[in-house]
Chains A and B, each alone.
Chain A
Amino acid sequence: DTEVTQTPKHLVMGMTNKKSLKCEQHMGHRAMYWYKQKAKKPPELMFVYSYEKLSINESVPSRFSPECPNSSLLNLHLHALQPEDSALYLCASRPQGNGEETQYFGPGTRLLVL
């Protein structure tokens, strides 16, 4: 089983709204990632969590706030977003510590900021 799930599938929000994106995996992976992807472009890394600790923040604006409540869950809290933040947000996970480097992606959340 190499499944990463993400909810919601689609999200429309205003610039003053607060919303959260959720990601879940039950593969025992200890590294989890948030990416942002614009149309016809490759994914851009936002955050990396390793063993539930934030390991990398790629200079992402503070209106994006990640959270890792446990080893299976990853959230991305959104507040006061801008229209240019509209994109496909992808979660990925990877085994950690055994040399396996493959990342498995979820289906994504398509976000539209009005």
Chain B
Amino acid sequence: TQLLEQSPQFLSIQEGENLTVYCNSSSVFSSLQWYRQEPGEGPVLLVTVVTGGEVKKLKRLTFQFGDARKDSSLHITAAQPGDTGLYLCAGAGKDDSWGKLQFGAGTQVVVTP
């Protein structure tokens, strides 16, 4: 089993501040997805990173995949209340043909006006 450690578990910040969420593993992933989830709703895909060292930007969100494909980070610039939610990282194992995802425990982000 490939463990994916996500930190921090909880972040409460003011509107306009920056934040970073981390996902780390001792195992190599073939790809890693980031999702945002609101209470009672399904996870919504934000990005998939595949290549080691890859950086992807989605408006104020920046995603990095580590060179060794073992870790990833999500950085939000100038957070807004609409960024509030549960952020989940999920990695796909290199040798798993069924596409089983290993999820991090999640980071609950609260952005207050």
| Residue ranges of A at the interface with B (Cβ–Cβ < 8 Å) | 2, 4, 6, 31, 40-43, 45, 48, 50, 55-56, 88, 90, 94, 96, 101-108, 110
Contact = CB atoms under 8 A, between A and B. Distances in A.
Contacts of A108: 40-42
B62 interface: no
Interface of B: 30-31, 33, 35, 40-45, 48, 86, 88, 90, 92, 98-101, 103-106, 108
Contacts, number: 62
A40 B86 contact: yes
Given A40-B86, A101-B48, A103-B33, A90 B42 contact: yes
Nearest to A90: B42
B92 A101 contact: yes
Contacts of B44: 105
The 8 closest A-B pairs by CB, nearest first: A42-B103, A105-B42, A101-B92, A108-B42, A102-B48, A107-B42, A105-B43, A101-B31
Given A42-B88, A42-B104, A110-B40, A105 B35 contact: yes
A45 B103 CA distance: 10
Nearest to B10: A40
Given A40-B86, A42-B105, A101-B30, A31 B99 contact: yes
A14 to B, nearest CB: 22
Contact of B101 (A6, A41, A50, A103): A103
Contacts of A55: 98
28 contacts: A4-B42, A6-B42, A40-B108, A41-B106, A42-B88, A42-B90, A42-B104, A42-B106, A45-B100, A48-B99, A55-B98, A56-B98, A56-B100, A90-B42, A96-B99, A101-B48, A101-B99, A102-B45, A104-B45, A105-B35, A105-B44, A105-B45, A106-B42, A107-B41, A107-B42, A108-B41, A108-B42, A110-B40
Contacts of B108: 40
A6 B33 CA distance: 22
A48 B100 contact: yes
B40 A88 contact: yes
